[in-house]
Structure 1
Amino acid sequence: MKTYLVGGAVRDRLLDYPVEERDWLVVGETAEAMVARGFRPVGKDFPVFLHPETHEEYALARTERKTGMGYKGFAVHADPDVTLEEDLQRRDLTINAMAIGDDGVLIDPFCGRLDLEQKLLRHVSPAFSEDPVRILRAARFAARYAHLGFRVADETMMLMKHMVAAGEADYLVSERVWAELHKALLERTPQAFFQVLRDCGALGVVFPEIDALFGVPQPEKYHPEIDTGVHALMVLEQAVRLSAKAEVRLAALLHDLGKALTPREHWPSHHGHEKKGLRVLERFCERLRVPKPFKSLSMQVMEYHTHCHRALELRSDTLTDMLQAIAAFKPENRLDEFLSACEADARGRSGFEDRSYPQAEYIRGAAAAAAGVDTGAALRQGLQGEQIGAAIRRSRIQAVDDFKKCYQSAVS
């Protein structure tokens, strides 16, 4: 049984990057022989097995033949006669098509190491164009390594453009799009993911709501970068600085979707974009089957980010109602995530990147004051039904008002 370390583990070892998981390739064996050795089969579309002790993945060498459109349109051939080079040739990028044998020698038939040195994301063969998921993967690897200076090779970018023009990206299914998006959001430079998709023309197909923001102007006084799409990617960049959570980064990216709905005659003003964008965001989340925690935070940030920016000017009742709407009074609240996304929006503008955001601490203080209200007092007063909620709201407004006066006194 000949085994080789392949894929990301080899790539990241050469880059001195942390190796999070190892994948192994098996050449010259059958599925029956793997099971006889104690390996547990787990692959649905092709033969993959878990090692009986390490539980690492071992895949049989295979080739693929295009049989239809989309990423499922393949016939997989796994056979003991498939060579290591034939298996590596079906992979997406040269930097992912390297292997290391038991002797520790690097096997690199497609010059992946050279592309690592030249910081290029280059396709292995024309077969790259047969799977639309590879467009997303190339973009995700750009997000992973852009901070090191990596870029998509010119010929690969041209191939990706041809794929989009041929309609291959139209066959991407929501589960795969969300899986790649989620991974990209956790990378060091996720904004590069969307820029690559835009450069090859796929952004309008895969994420039309985000693509629609480009070319939409904003008031230069508040947005020196002017373009709303540029602003969205700048906000995402700032969100990376403020939070490691994918939920925060997605909420920051999507907060201004409503600006794409503003009629041209009203540009660059976008009155009411916070609420107008909610239905767009709803459709986005439904189409991609976005998990509920992501959706709920994104909805809150979209609807209330302007309130957050104006927190120091808001009336006590308005601020209290906002805190109630974003569930800030619940023990397991997401106030910090909400504030991080809003702060990213405030900083995601040309020249604003390092400005302070006192609104965050102000809102935390107001939330703490309101959450400290004795909610049981309403029950002890004999109130019932809606009267209880109204009484609690009045008490919280008073607590916020008291906090506001103390805050103003302290800063004056």
Structure 2
Amino acid sequence: MEIYLVGGAVRDRLLGRPVHDRDWVVVGATPEEMLSLGYKQVGADFPVFLHPQTHEEYALARTERKSGQGYHGFKVFSSPDVTLEQDLQRRDLTINAMAEAENGTLVDPFNGKQDLHQRILRHVSPAFAEDPLRILRVARFAARLAPAGFTVAAETLDLMRQMAQQGEAEHLVPERIWQETRRALHEQSPRTYFEVLLQSGALASVMPELYALFEPPVARPRSTGADSSKRGDMALRTLTSASSLSDETSVRFAALAMALEPTALQAFCDRLKIPNDCRELALLAIRHHEDVAQAAARDAGALLSLLDQVDAWRRPDRLERLLQVCEAEGRVRTGADDFPSADVLRRALAAAQAVNARTFVDQGLTGKAVGKAIDEERLTRIQQLITTA
């Protein structure tokens, strides 16, 4: 039995990055041997075991053979006869197909270390084309490593294009697309994920609504007057801006998706089963970003109305996320380093929230009269705020 550290831990150590998770491959062992040593088996598709002390994953060396369409269309073969190189060969990128022996020796049959030095994301073998999920994974790794100078190898991008043209990406299940996309939104350069998908041709299959933003220029009836290609660029720039303002998935998603029409957004979210918090925030941004952008020039009544429309009283946390989305868009649109309207709305909300319904109940008001009195007092306090600003 031989045990090797594999994949991301080896790659990140060579890159000088923190290693958070470690995965291991066991060569020359059977499931029975692993169980006898106290490992706990998990997963039914292939033999993976948890270490009895560290609980890290130890997988028996295996090979895979294409047996159907999509991510699940594989037959897995595991045996003590499967070599380490055979196991590494089934992996996606050369930089992920390295292993480290227990004595520290690097095992690198596909020149992953060289590709690390050259900053290239290159597929290991033609078997890459058998798994459409790898298109998304390559795009996500590009989003992670682009700031360090990594690019996708020309031959890998060509292979991804062939896969897209053959309809492989259409077999991806919505949950996996969203899972990879959500993770990509939190990489160092999230826009690169969508750029690589666009370059590979896969964006049209997995996210046709976003793809429409990048089609050849076609005039569209938008308040910005922007054509589709400019809307695509604006969406990516707004995503980049939002990434510097917030780590929230919903904020980053909404910053990207606010370039869509409401019907396109709903179709996009329905098909990929995107969480409601992301959907709701994006829809609010689409409907109210212009009102938010002009808040600094609006009167007290307009500010109170906007706070009502976005349900700021019950959802102040969502208002804050909306302001971050709008600030990201505003900074890109104007080129300014600040966004005064966000601060105006924050202060208006704070002033209005200071109104206490108990005050009016104690005055003998009831029912609708209380609500009316609250609105009037909120309006007064926002007006005072504007006057003294």
- What TM-score range do you get, normalising by the shorter chain? over 0.9
Determine the structure 1 residue equivalent to 2:306: 322
Pairing 1:157-176 to 2, within 5 Å after superposition: 157-176=157-176
Give the aligned partner of residue 324 of structure 2: 340
User: Are residue 137 (structure 1) and residue 137 (structure 2) matched?
Assistant: yes
Q: Distance in 2 between matches of 1:226 and 1:377?
A: 54
Q: Identify the residue that residue 125 of structure 1 maps to in structure 2.
A: 125
| CA 1:14–1:137: 2 relative to 1, 3 Å | same
Matched, 1:404 2:382: no
The Cα offsets for residues 297-319 of structure 1, whole Å up to 9 and x where unpaired, read as 22222221111101012232232
More displaced, 132-141 or 12-21? 12-21
Equivalent in the alignment of 1:297? 281
**Cα deviations across residues 308-357 of structure 1 (Å, max 9, x unaligned)?**
101012232232232233333237623332211111101224xx445321
Q: Percent identity?
A: 49
Letter in 1 for 2:100: I
Q: Secondary structure at the match of 2:213?
A: coil
8 A contact 2:213–2:228 mirrored in 1:
no
Question: Aligned runs of 1:227-376 on 2, under 5 Å?
Answer: 227-258=230-261, 277=262, 279-330=263-314, 333-349=317-333, 352-376=334-358
Q: Distance in 2 between matches of 1:18 and 1:316?
A: 50
* Corresponding residue SS for 2:317: coil
Distance 1:373 1:18, change over 3 A: same
Query: For 1:100, what is the secondary structure of its paired residue?
Result: strand
Instruction: Give 1:406's aligned amino acid.
Output: T
40 and 106 in structure 1: CA distance in 2 versus 1, 3 angstrom threshold: same
RMSD: 2.2
Residues 76-116 of structure 1: CA distance to partner in whole angstroms, max 9, x if unpaired? 11111111000000000001000001010110000111111
Partner of 1:227, secondary structure, is helix
- What is the alpha-carbon distance in structure 1 between the residues aligned to residue 316 and residue 326 of structure 2? 19
1:71-82 paired onto structure 2 within 5 Å: 71-82=71-82
Deviating more after overlay: 313-322 vs 244-253: 313-322
Q: Indicate the SS of the match to 2:267.
A: helix
The TM-score, its normalising length taken from structure 2, stands at 0.93
1:44-193 mapped onto 2 (5 Å cutoff):
44-193=44-193
Unpaired segments of 5 or more residues in structure 1? 259-276, 408-412
* Shift in Å, 1:213: 1.3
**1:132 CA drift (Å):** 0.5
Aligned residues of 1:67 and 1:75 also touching (Cα < 8 A): yes
SS at the partner of 2:282? Answer: helix
Q: Do the aligned partners of 1:25 and 1:58 also contact (CA within 8 Å) in 2?
A: yes
Deviations 1:114-134 (CA, angstroms, capped at 9, x unpaired): 111111110000010011100
Give yes or no for contact 1:10–1:99 (8 Å, CA) kept in 2. yes
> Contact (CA 8 Å) 1:216, 1:229: kept in 2 or not?
no
SS at match of 1:233: helix
Specify the alignment match of 1:196 in structure 2: 196
Greater Cα offset, 32-41 or 13-22: 32-41
TM-score, length of structure 1 as denominator length: 0.88
Q: For 1:290, what is the secondary structure of its paired residue?
A: coil
Whole-angstrom CA distance in 2 between matches of 1:216 and 1:381: 60
Unaligned regions of 5+ residues in structure 2, if any? none
Q: Is the 8 A contact 2:209 2:264 kept in 1?
A: yes
CA apart distance, 1:170: 0.4
Quick check: 45-54 or 363-372, which moved more?
Answer: 45-54
Per-residue CA deviations over 1:179-216 (Å, capped at 9, x if unaligned) read: 10011001010000000000011111111111111235
CA drift at 1:256 = 1.5
